[in-house]
Amino acid sequence: MKLIAVLLIAVGVFITPFYFYALLQFRRILLAERPDLAERRGSLSFFYTGMPRVADPNVGAAVVGAAFGPVARELKDPSAAMHARCIRLSLLVGVPAYIVAFAILIAGAP
């Protein structure tokens, strides 16, 4: 079972850089075409002062929400749909892989 967990972690580690690249590129497109969606601030956003804006969970959630919503099809940039698809695929494969690997490792703990 630990071999399966290691393979799932490897899948997650392989997918994570693609997710972050697509997230940054999709946010760049959103900033150019729909800045109201890419610059959301929450009440605790002051904790993230001095960090890149995408590090703010409110901004990241807004970008991911736009990728999962109809906004990606409404954008004029032709690569927006590809980056949104990459975000969706990365989250739909990577998150369950990490969760199942974590569950396997916890279940096998002494």
- Mean pLDDT within 32-45: 78
Task: Give yes or no for residue 15 having a pLDDT over 80.
Answer: yes
What is the 3-state secondary structure of the chain?
A: CHHHHHHHHHHHHHHHHHHHHHHHHHHHHHHHHCHHHHCCCCCCHHHHCCCCHHHCHHHHHHHHHHHHCCHHHHCCCCHHHHHHHHHHHHHHHHHHHHHHHHHHHHHCCC
Provide the pLDDT confidence category of residue 110 given band limits of 50, 70 and 90: low
The confidence score (pLDDT) of residue 1 equals 84
Summarised one tens digit per residue, pLDDT across range 48-88 is 777 777 777 778 888 899 999 898 888 898 899 999 999 99
The confidence score (pLDDT) of residue 46 equals 73
The confidence score (pLDDT) of residue 26 equals 93
Record the pTM. 0.84
